[in-house]
Amino acid sequence: MLVLIGVVVGALTTAVAYFLPWLPEQASEQREGIDLVFWITTGICVAIFALVSAVLIYSVWKFRAKPDDDTDGPPIHGNAALEVAWTAVPTVLVVIIGVVSAIVLARNDRGGPDALRIQVTAQQFAWNFKYPNGVTSATLNLPLDRDVVLQLRALDVLHSFFVPQFGQKQDAVPGELTKLAITPTKVGEYPIECTELCGLGHAVMRSQAVVMPVARYESWIRREGRRLRGPPGEAGAAVFRNQGCGGCHIFDPADSQGQIGPSLNELEKQARRAGKPLEAFTRESIVQPEAYLEPDYPNVMPKTYAQLPDDQLDALVQYLVDGARDENG
């Protein structure tokens, strides 16, 4: 009877664990090991749950008191064999989980000798990415099936980089360089989430990882690199696009439609209201967005753009100033 209850509970729990889609789709090599640890742990949990449930249900049913039975139960004191068993078995199980996890994490940490290194900067409340040729972007572009090592820095407080489909998390720690190896195995767009409570904007500290075929990645990175070294207008447009400025701002030269921040077509008017020359105002609004706030707009622009490399910042300012002047003829 006891065994029967255990088998039934175990089967039901296994069905819930196995047939419901608890895990996000697998999109990196490293995820396989993480899933292995997950399933081993789940298996152990299901077995223990079935055992405990079986003993509990059986005892409640078998040893329940008769309605008119007011006597004390039999005095039982200790059971050496049982105590040794419930100490030794969990110890072995925990050691197994620990050893498997250690092996998986050690293997997942290997970035491969010629991994693509991308610098990740975390700051309240945005991510920024810098590729080996100097191109920067607000979303993370990755080539398919290539070893990538992310080098994470935090400029203010603790943040944590997590793409559920890639499996692993890594903290970004102020004053320290941490790393995370990823080998993407599936083309697609995946959410990047900050998983360390880092302040009021923690919930919106999100971005996207875009995994693309190697050829597309290579042509993107080369093209953007060329543009950065090209004429200032082109470089500025590239920075504007890669940093996702258009997601929040209207700017006709870039054909962007964002509504969250003030329209950049109106930069001249805004500079006049702020009482500053156009170029200085534009630069300040990028590196220190809270210095002047346009009425009726929330103070939500990330401060991360202050870390743009100088030449990219210059190009962006030039692009915005020229564009705003053209708009107003």
Q: Could you give the CA distance from residue 226 to residue 234 in angstroms, rounded to a whole number?
A: 9
Q: Could you give the CA distance from residue 163 to residue 169 in angstroms, rounded to a whole number?
A: 7
Our CA angle for 16, 18, 24, nearest 5°, is 105
CB of 193 to ligand CUA, least distance (A): 8
Q: Which of 309, 249, 257, 327 is nearest to 285 (CA)?
A: 249
125/190 with CB nearer ligand CUA: 125
Check residue 196 for interaction with ligand CUA (CB under 6 A): yes
Check residue 198 for interaction with ligand CUA (CB under 6 A): yes
9/154 with CB nearer ligand CUA: 154
188/199 with CB nearer ligand CUA: 199
Q: Could you give the CA distance from residue 184 to residue 149 in angstroms, rounded to a whole number?
A: 11
What SS3 class is residue 266?
A: helix
Query: Are 212 and 186 in contact, with CB atoms under 8 Å apart?
Result: no
Scan residues 80-139 and list those touching ligand CUA (CB under 6 A).
122, 125
Check residue 286 for interaction with ligand CUA (CB under 6 A): no
Judged by CB under 6 A, which of 31, 130, 153, 159 binds ligand CUA?
159
- Which H or E element spans position 230? none
Judged by CB under 6 A, which of 9, 205, 228, 278 binds ligand CUA?
205
CB of 248 to ligand CUA, least distance (A): 18
H-helix segments, the chain: 2-19, 29-62, 80-109, 214-229, 232-242, 267-274, 278-287, 310-327
- Which H or E element spans position 131? none
Scan residues 6-65 and list those touching ligand CUA (CB under 6 A).
none
Check residue 169 for interaction with ligand CUA (CB under 6 A): no
CB of 305 to ligand CUA, least distance (A): 16
Scan residues 55-84 and list those touching ligand CUA (CB under 6 A).
none
- Which residue bears the tokens 């080998």? 183
48/197 with CB nearer ligand CUA: 197
CB of 267 to ligand CUA, least distance (A): 29
Under the rule (CB under 6 A), what is the footprint of ligand CUA? 122, 125, 159, 194, 196-198, 202, 205
